[in-house]
């Protein structure tokens, strides 16, 4: 009879909400029961041990150490490699990836550059007024979701941190007014007090109009509408924004990756900043991958920059649009790629992803994915938060420590990267 072990307060690493109240029951190195997990999380846990990678070289199984040393060779011998991904691995692995980038004169970029990176660029222009999730839970009387749909993408978010949570000063749903701006009526919109359907691609105009109204100016109009919303409605919204005691706005890729991209977020950040002249108002990016916030954090303390970093001069240089993965791949500027805990073949534009077939590509990932099909080297790894420990950063930059509760046959990402780094450094 094998023993049943129970673990409490386990952190789910799937999305940027990093719920840390998961309970699991384990028997014979298998997850038997799982509690407090959302539908997505439950599936992730239940399927975590399936579809596991094995070490491969050119489509043939090989020894783990062989895969590691081949990866080191590729990086050593390339002139301008790309290290990409990072958002679904631990801070310990991310740190080591930066070191490898430095040692091999590589470009290093995270999936941030194709999701909330534009928001970070906007922050560099104007700054950002933000708070931790508990602060919003405790104080926020007006919650706005803009181009974000947590009910489907971060299912426990509303229960733990926003609309439905129990806070210090705000106790339940009726203590909060909720407004949703989106291009379609999402399930999140259905939970709101008010929903405004935004004409696609017009977020910038809408945000700037609200900013004018908040600052006592009238926007110019053609048909009494901005972004498909009536000006009289906008005036009411502007008053609500001004009257909030502690407003909050959660924004998703509906804002950062559409229309004016980083200027959308710039407009939102400028509006939120101005609203602090009336009451308090904060904002929060709905980060997708579990540790994408960590990828910006670890890269920043080591290099000074959050993503899109190039080490060809042996010191870090930063330039989104030049050292970002999509651009480097689509412009065929790199001669090798090291993909860490990410699936660019599934997510990047075709032209960028297809180029991975033409250059030596290394993938470090616990699961098979579309990118492993393109890889010359596949390095398996342990599952963070399940069979691997480490640090992850929540969407509000709160760090959490992961504890492993199952055994794995493969080392974790950090250990693999340390080995590769040593092979390059001691060459």
Partner 1 sequence: MIRLFNGVIYDPAQKIDGELGEIWIKDDKIVEKPSAKKIKKLKAAGELEEIDLENKILMAGGVDIHSHIAGPKVNSGRVLRPEDHRRDNIARKGKLRSGVGSTVPSSYVTGYRYSMMGYTTVMEAAGPPMKAKHIHEEFNDLPFIDKGFLVLSGNNYFVLKFISENNMEALKNYLGWLIDVTGAYALKVVNPAGVEAWKEGKRMRGIKDKGTSFNLSPSEIMLALTEANDALNLPHAVHLHTNDLGTAGNYKTTLDTLELLKDRRLHITHIQFSSYGKNENDRIKFRTATDKVAAAVNKHPKLTVDIGQLVFGEATTMTADGVLEYNLHKLSGHKWVNTDVEMETGSGIVPMNYKKKNLVNGIQWATGMELFLKIEDPFKVFLTTDHPNAGPFTAYPWIIKLLMDKDYREEYISGMHKNIDNYTDISNLKREYSLYEIAAVSRSGPAKSLGLKNKGHLAPGADADIAVYKSLENKDIADVFAHPALVFKDGILVVEDGELKSDKLLPGRTLMIKPEYDKNIQAEIRGDFQKFYSMSIDNYAVTDNYFNKVEVVPCRSKA
Q: How far apart are CA 226 and CA 237, in angstroms?
A: 13
CB of 58 to partner 1, least distance (A): 32
Q: How far apart are CA 307 and CA 310, in angstroms?
A: 9
Q: How far apart are CA 42 and CA 345, in angstroms?
A: 25
- Comparing CB distances to partner 1, the nearer of 62 and 129 is 129
CB of 54 to partner 1, least distance (A): 28
Please give the structure tokens belonging to residue 35: 């509690």
Q: How many CA atoms lie within 13 A of 412 on its CB side?
A: 23
CB of 253 to partner 1, least distance (A): 19
CB of 134 to partner 1, least distance (A): 3
CB of 168 to partner 1, least distance (A): 5
CB of 91 to partner 1, least distance (A): 6
Q: How far apart are CA 411 and CA 68, in angstroms?
A: 11
Which residue, among 396, 212, 223, 196, has the nearest Cα to 297 in the 3D structure? Answer: 396
Which residue, among 24, 65, 48, 14, has the nearest Cα to 387 in the 3D structure? Answer: 48
CB of 107 to partner 1, least distance (A): 14
CB of 136 to partner 1, least distance (A): 8
Q: How far apart are CA 97 and CA 90, in angstroms?
A: 11
Question: Chain-centre distance of CA 216, in angstroms?
Answer: 36
For residue 221, how many other CB atoms are within 10 A of its CB? 10
**For residues 248 and 140, is the Cβ–Cβ distance under 8 A?**
yes
How would DSSP label each residue in 169-230? S--SGGG-EEEEEESS--HHHHTSSEEEEPPTT-HHHHHHHHHHHHTT-PPP-SSSEETTEE
- Comparing CB distances to partner 1, the nearer of 89 and 298 is 298
Catalog residues that contact partner 1 under the rule CB under 8 A: 8-9, 11, 20-21, 91, 95, 99, 102-103, 120, 123-135, 137-139, 160-161, 166-169, 245-246, 273, 276-277, 279-280, 282, 296-298, 300-306, 311, 313-318, 389, 391, 393, 396-401
Q: Which run of H or E residues covers position 91?
A: helix 91-103
Please give the structure tokens belonging to residue 214: 């908040």
């Amino acid at each position: 009879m094998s023993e049943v072990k129970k673990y409490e307060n386990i952190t789910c690493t799937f999305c940027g909400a990093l719920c840390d109240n998961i309970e699991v029951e384990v028997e014979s190195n298998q997850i038997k029961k799982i509690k407090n997990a959302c539908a997505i999380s439950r599936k992730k846990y239940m399927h975590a041990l399936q579809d596991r990678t094995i070490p491969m070289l050119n489509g043939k199984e090989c020894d783990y150490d062989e895969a590691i040393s081949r990866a080191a060779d590729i990086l050593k011998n390339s002139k301008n490699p790309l290290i990409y991904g990072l958002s679904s691995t631990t801070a310990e692995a991310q740190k080591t990836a930066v070191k490898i980038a430095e040692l091999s004169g590589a470009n290093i970029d995270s999936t941030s550059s194709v999701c909330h990176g534009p928001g970070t660029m906007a922050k560099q222009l104007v700054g950002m007024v933000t708070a931790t999730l508990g602060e919003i839970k405790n104080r926020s009387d007006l919650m706005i979701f803009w181009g974000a749909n947590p009910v489907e993408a971060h299912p426990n978010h509303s229960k733990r941190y926003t609309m439905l949570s129990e806070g210090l000063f705000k106790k339940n749903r009726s203590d909060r007014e909720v407004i949703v701006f989106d291009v379609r009526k999402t399930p999140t919109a259905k939970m709101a007090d008010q929903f405004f359907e935004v004409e696609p691609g017009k977020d910038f105009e809408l945000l700037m109009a609200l900013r004018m109204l908040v600052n006592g100016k009238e926007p110019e109009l053609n048909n009494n509408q901005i972004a498909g919303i009536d000006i009289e409605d906008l005036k009411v919204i502007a008053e609500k924004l001004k009257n909030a005691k502690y407003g909050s706005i959660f924004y998703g890729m509906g804002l950062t990756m559409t229309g004016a991209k980083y200027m959308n977020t710039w407009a939102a950040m400028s509006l939120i900043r101005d609203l602090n002249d009336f009451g308090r108002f904060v904002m929060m990016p709905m980060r997708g991958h579990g540790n994408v916030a960590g990828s910006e954090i670890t890269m920043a303390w080591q290099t000074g920059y959050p993503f899109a970093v190039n080490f060809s001069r042996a010191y870090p240089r930063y330039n989104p649009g030049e050292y970002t993965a999509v651009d480097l791949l689509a412009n065929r500027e790199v001669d090798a790629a090291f993909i860490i805990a990410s699936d660019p073949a599934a997510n990047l534009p075709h032209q960028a992803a297809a180029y991975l077939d033409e250059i030596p590509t290394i993938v470090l990932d616990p699961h098979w994915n579309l990118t492993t099909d393109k890889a010359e080297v596949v390095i398996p790894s342990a599952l963070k938060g399940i069979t691997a420990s480490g640090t992850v950063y929540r969407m509000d930059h709160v760090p959490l420590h992961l504890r492993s509760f199952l055994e794995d046959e493969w080392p974790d990402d950090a250990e693999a990267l340390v080995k590769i780094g040593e092979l390059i450094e001691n060459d």
